[in-house]
Amino acid sequence: MTDITPAIEAAPPTPEAMEAAWRRVQLARHPQRPRTLDLVPRIFEGFFELHGDRAFGDDAAIVGGPAMLERQPVMVIGHQKGTDTESNIARNFGSPHPEGFRKAQRLMRLADKLGLPIITFLDTAGAFPGPAAEERGQAEAIASSIKLMTGLQVPIVVVVLGEGGSGGALAIGVGDTVLALENSVYSVISPEGCASILWRSREEARAAAAAMRMTAADQLDLGVVDVIVPEPGEGAHTDHAATARAVKTAIMSSLQSMAGRGTAELLMTRYARLRGMGAYLETGAGPSRPPEAPSLRRRIGRLLRLPGVPRRPRWSEIWPSDDGDDESERGA
């Protein structure tokens, strides 16, 4: 079988690794980095933006609509950050509320109905964590978006432009091919968030960024990303037009590679891709069982009808509560 040993020995991130990872994080967050709406007119023609989730409102942190890609109609959906303070406030810094994800779902269903390939652009620090978002079902919106994408009968190409921030990114990031710009990052939680939980200090974000292996190259190695799109010069922010050309070429070749696939093969391959995410050990250990033979204590207890003596084998005997919950072991 294939190797099951870790790719690298666990060790605290070196200062060099921290600097390298952090440089990518900063490039991914660069204020002049091209956003979805910077690239869309350069890649597609006739983009027509559609608004609203038909239930609550329109979320400016996610944009989308049909467009032409070399005479082929496609559906374009992406996170949208602002370029200055004013537009960032209008765009909520690219962090969607549930209505943003529900708008995306609506557009995906339209694409599915008409057989349009879907191109998505990921660039968000994460889904917005505020109370209004919780009230309107942020988790449900992300979950149903992810589920919808796994079953869409059209090709999906995902492009990680800048920050691929956790569930808010994955909500429009399930695809057949995932492209990532060279200096983009993708992570399960922001490096600051990870640092504040595991290192108990936001100042350790560099260490967290390195430990999570969130650069595009790392993601390629992990199999989360399929293709890296090189950036011009010092980074995408230096030349939006050249970045757009590189992204367009990569999208075209991804779509062409899927052109021969029928719907069934497309869905099967997508399912297999997701199903294969991550490695694990399959030890030969058999199923656990609760103690079967009554213990002497139980036998005597039942004979004498003592209180608190279990009558049958109980799973809680092998997996009991210990009331020693370690609250520091948190997830994202």
Q: For the segment 134-153, give every residue that binds other proteins (CB under 8 A).
A: 134-140, 142-144, 146-147, 149-151, 153
The pair of structure tokens assigned to 180 is: 């990532």
User: In whole angstroms, how close is the CB of 63 to other proteins at the nearest point?
Assistant: 22
C-alpha–C-alpha distance, residues 57 and 276, integer Å: 37
Query: How would DSSP label each residue in 58-115?
Result: --TTEEEEEEEETTEEEEEEEE---SSHHHHHHTGGG---HHHHHHHHHHHHHHHHHT
Beta carbons within 10 angstroms of residue 175's beta carbon: 24
Question: By C-beta, is 71 or 316 nearer to other proteins?
Answer: 316
Range 212-241, binding other proteins (CB under 8 A):
212-214, 219, 222-224, 226
Burial of 306 per CB tally in 10 Å (0-12, 13-18, 19+): exposed
Q: Which helix (H) or strand (E) holds 177?
A: strand 177-181
Cβ of residue 294: shortest distance to other proteins, in angstroms? Answer: 13
Contact status: 303 vs other proteins (CB under 8 A)? no
Structure tokens of 103?
A: 């708008």
Distance CA 159, CA 145 (A): 17
The interface with other proteins within residues 183-212 (CB under 8 A) comprises 186-189, 193-194, 197-199, 207-208, 211-212
Tokens representing 40 are: 């869309």
Window contacting other proteins (CB under 8 A); options: 64-72, 116-124, 233-241, 300-308:
300-308
Does 156 contact other proteins by CB under 8 A? no
Quick check: 20 binds other proteins (CB under 8 A)? no
Cβ at position 325, least distance to other proteins in Å: 6
Taking residues 45 to 84 in sequence order and writing x for each that binds other proteins by CB under 8 A, - otherwise, the string is: ----------------------------------------
For tokens 């070749």, what's the residue? 253
Q: Is residue 3 near other proteins by the rule CB under 8 A? A: yes
By C-beta, is 220 or 242 nearer to other proteins? 220
Min separation Cβ 242 and other proteins, Å: 27
